[in-house]
Amino acid sequence: MSESIFEKNGGYVIDEVNYMDCSCGTPVKNVGESAKGVRCDRCVSAQVYKMFPESFDNAVKPSYKPTGRPAGWHWMAEFVDKDGNVFHKGKEQPKLKGTLKPTKVKPRKKTKRRSKDAILVEKYKEKQKLKRAVKKQQDFLNHKTQDK
């Protein structure tokens, strides 16, 4: 039995299934008899990635689309977006679409980043307040409040 073209091209048969190795060494199953070479899935992906990196990037990282919905809208008993889509706990209620006014979205409060100094000043003020309160209390106990 002479060597087949398939075997000459590097193919081999296991349990009547044609195999050929990718250039990276990965065996690829079900290769056609006339195949001169194969590429495994990983190498194909890598090649596609090299050829079209942009399209890959888009597929991997879907561009962020702001929905205009507030954080936690999924948990709201009822939320109506600006297009009139009604959601009950995040579940769309198509029948109610357009029947309700959009839920007013409060702009999220931006927490100011306080500087270390500001925090110290605040702590100091808090302390003074406490001191004054304690003093008042003592004055009261000493029946001094009437003087003021």
Write out the residues near Zn ion by the rule CB under 5 A. Answer: 22, 24, 26, 40, 43
> Which C-beta is closer to Zn ion: that of 22 or that of 96?
22
State phi, psi for 55 to the nearest 5 degrees. Answer: -65, -30
> Which C-beta is closer to Zn ion: that of 25 or that of 72?
25
Q: Smallest distance from the beta carbon of 48 to Zn ion, in angstroms? A: 13
Euclidean distance between CA atoms 17 and 31, whole angstroms: 8
Q: Smallest distance from the beta carbon of 38 to Zn ion, in angstroms? A: 8
> Which C-beta is closer to Zn ion: that of 43 or that of 105?
43
Q: Smallest distance from the beta carbon of 21 to Zn ion, in angstroms? A: 8
> Do the strands 17-21 and 27-28 form a parallel or antiparallel pair, or are they unpaired?
antiparallel
Which one, of 81, 60, 59, 61, lies nearest residue 70 by Cα?
81
